[in-house]
Structure 1
């Protein structure tokens, strides 16, 4: 009989045997309460400032128009994050930080710096140009990067690679652009109210076309460079301190440079904006979109390559690496569970897929010597979560494998279940797993049994 590695036991407690209670400021509810209060106050202040500049009517018009691209951008980043979906609270924090805290910092700092330059140089026009091309990119990209840094430091388990950096940075920038668009669109509407312009020739229509139709991806595009830098740092080993610091700084500097180039396009002549948009922004957007999708496919390949070892050990079924490495098969498994067992079962299968993906990424980092000191503990936690959901997930995984696996050519009679198929012989489902590793029957093994 085949033997399987024993399930690691949970530690009995702290190493020194003493229970350590966190101080009051270290408790989770205190940190969450302080963060929510900070963001709420920032939101109230920024709403008051924007309403003061646009007026009540302009403020309402600005909100209605600025919100239009937000669902599309959030859906795009959520789609990108489907391989190993991060918790919603991280995305909510990122959006709230961008829309409230980062926007407040940018408005206050940009206004102060522009006024100081105008006073020092006695040239308001040059102060506005310098503020838009130099001060604004530095202040805005730094304030948005703070959200990525906070998630990287305090939600390290949820920040494991480039896709996570792209998603957090992109959602933060989406929130920032939302607030900024309210200000610009509301101000444009106020101008039209004064001049009496209406229709497509109005300032509001022109602002809406440039900021919402042509370039809704501008701010996310800049900040994603910072997110890529933090994503590379997350993939680096903990001992590579210099790389983990310099690469995010390099991404931030690139984001500032691209932002400055975009803001300065209006000074390049009457057609400078359109030239920069067509020759620079659109290709850069296409390149980063390709990079994000390629990274997503690479993550699926990592899942297929890393999980077979858990099939050999008996933790996963023989077809599960194939199912977990295909987004279409994953969806089929969730649909099967939801149709036959209900929404709660579909949710459990989705959680099973997420935990298995995290397990694959953890092992990938461990093989490359980039895992943290809690590698063994984290692996044990993920295996325990998978084992809790195995009864619901296994039938759904098997169904998805049967429906999505390509048909195999039959060169001879099939062999019995559980035996290896000789070369050139078609093996029935469950005998040979995809991608070349042999299948073993899932053991009747209870990890909680001593």
Structure 2
């Protein structure tokens, strides 16, 4: 164990490079998490998001109810406002529709974040940030700016000007702020473009779902409270338009900021680190502005859907190029450790191929949880080691990365006897998986199941007359 005089400079070097602290001998995982300030920040973050969602609920319940009351009073002569029960019923119905959009977005960005996936905690933080913090900030900022751009209450163009010229900048800044926050706190965990894109996508999907719920509630309650309108038909139309056809809008725009931030993290030049995120943010805001302007100008939804689909396909092709480039980088950087004798010659080939990694995971799953956990840890350590070496070669990290590299190599050596690390000649199905063994295994489990016990009755008595039988004459 290093002395305090030696450990202090090492700890400072790790902190400046963003490298995790060294694990103290005999220190449990629970104790390490308890001493980590990020654990307590994360624990306080989710209740804070719930509080902000409650504030958003109260704010929109008041504004939507008042706007419906004003509309019914002007057009019908009688002021009609939804009750709290009606608003909550509409909220529950609209939330179930918005969950479809949430499921689509989460699945898409989970599939993109496969090479070196971020932790589930970071994904949850990004999702809740977009659904709670970004929505709360954007709603208050948009309302304040719209009030400054409106001449009076009768000016109908104030909200239009705010939606085109203000909302794109405010909303993109609110959604992308979590990327910059995570880059400051845990920049060691965000090392590739796909990680930045995935986190930006989770934040944007959370923002889009909460925003869709607000639009759904407003449309449904207007249709319910105003005479002569079909609320279900209006809700179905806006759900198809926003939840299915144009759900990609917010994730697409935030992706541009994520790409700029990823370029800045991996760059050595200070000028690139400053200009790349700014350029990505401005491009995202301009694309968002064009999207809002086309919708408010009465653009065809089919045309918007076609343009958005084409952009998504172009970005998907670009992401495939990114993934292939990342795979080549992993192989090249692991080759450095092969030349020094720290890794096996086949390790760069195995851990840089997507199909080989998938084969290892499937084969490890069929061999039990112990093998699966060791294989997953081995795969993560190999990928982290490759990106760590890439940061050193680019000059982004200093000697603190070498200390972390030694720790990863030691962990790989300990995991190798239990994990699967070679795909050549590896059968996906274990060799002992034969029909006889499977049938015998199920037979043993079946015989081990508890059986109901047969009831035992008392032995018969010595009387010749059964119980309850009437006596005969003369007995």
TM over 0.5: same fold?
A: yes
Match of 1:350 among 376, 380, 388: 376
Alignment of 1:38-437 (within 5 A): 38-52=48-62, 53=64, 55-118=87-150, 120=151, 124-195=155-226, 197-198=229-230, 202-237=233-268, 240-268=269-297, 270-278=298-306, 280-340=307-367, 342-372=368-398, 374-393=400-419, 396-398=420-422, 400-403=423-426
Classify 1:391/1:65 alpha carbon distance in 2 versus 1 (closer, same or farther; 3 Å).
same
| CA-to-aligned-CA distance 1:30-88 (integer Å, 9 cap, x gap) | 43344334323212222333444371122111100011021221122111111111111
SS in 2 for 1:67: helix
Relative distance call for 1:403 and 1:133 in structure 2 (3 A) is same
The one-character-per-residue Cα deviations of 1:301-334 (angstroms, maximum 9, x if unpaired) are 2222221232333332332222211222112212
User: d(CA) in 2 for partners of 1:18 and 1:402?
Assistant: 47
Q: Structure 1 residue 106: deviation in Å?
A: 1.1
Measure, in 2, the Cα distance between the counterparts of 1:20 and 1:158: 18
Query: Matches of 1:214 and 1:335 in 2, distance apart?
Result: 35
Quick check: 1:15 aligned with 2:15? no
Counterpart CA distance in 2 for 1:329 and 1:43 is 43
Larger Rg belongs to:
2
Q: Distance in 2 between matches of 1:403 and 1:136?
A: 55
In structure 2, stretches of 5+ residues that fail to align are 16-33, 66-86, 428-475
Which is worse superposed, 102-111 or 13-22?
A: 13-22
CA contact 1:78–1:167 (8 Å) conserved in 2: yes
Q: Does 2:35 align with 1:35?
A: no
Distance 1:144 1:314 in 2: 45
Q: Write the distance in 1 (CA, Å) between the matches of 2:302 and 2:364.
A: 50
Contact between 2:52 and 2:132, CA under 8 Å: does it hold in 1? Answer: yes
Mark the CA change 1:19 to 1:85 in structure 2 (over 3 Å): closer, same or farther.
closer
Contact 2:219 2:231 (8 Å CA) reproduced: no
2:470 maps to which residue? none
Distance 1:17 1:218, change over 3 A: closer
The separation in 2 between residues aligned to 1:358 and 1:227, in whole angstroms, is 20
Q: In angstroms, what is the RMSD of aligned CA positions?
A: 2.7
Distance 1:265 1:14 in 2: 63
- For residues 69 and 337 of structure 1, the distance between their equivalents in structure 2, rounded to whole angstroms, comes to 33
Distance 1:17 1:193, change over 3 A: closer
Mapped to 1, the partners of 2:115 and 2:131 lie a distance apart of 27
Distance in 2, matches of 1:309 and 1:20, equals: 26
CA distance in 2, matches of 1:81, 1:20: 30
Partner of 1:434: none
Partners of 1:372 and 1:190 lie apart in 2 by: 59
Superposed displacement of residue 272, structure 1: 4.8
Structure 1 position 276, deviation (Å): 4.2
Contact 2:222 2:231 in 1 (8 A): no
**Is the Cα contact below 8 Å between 1:163 and 1:292 reproduced in 2?**
yes
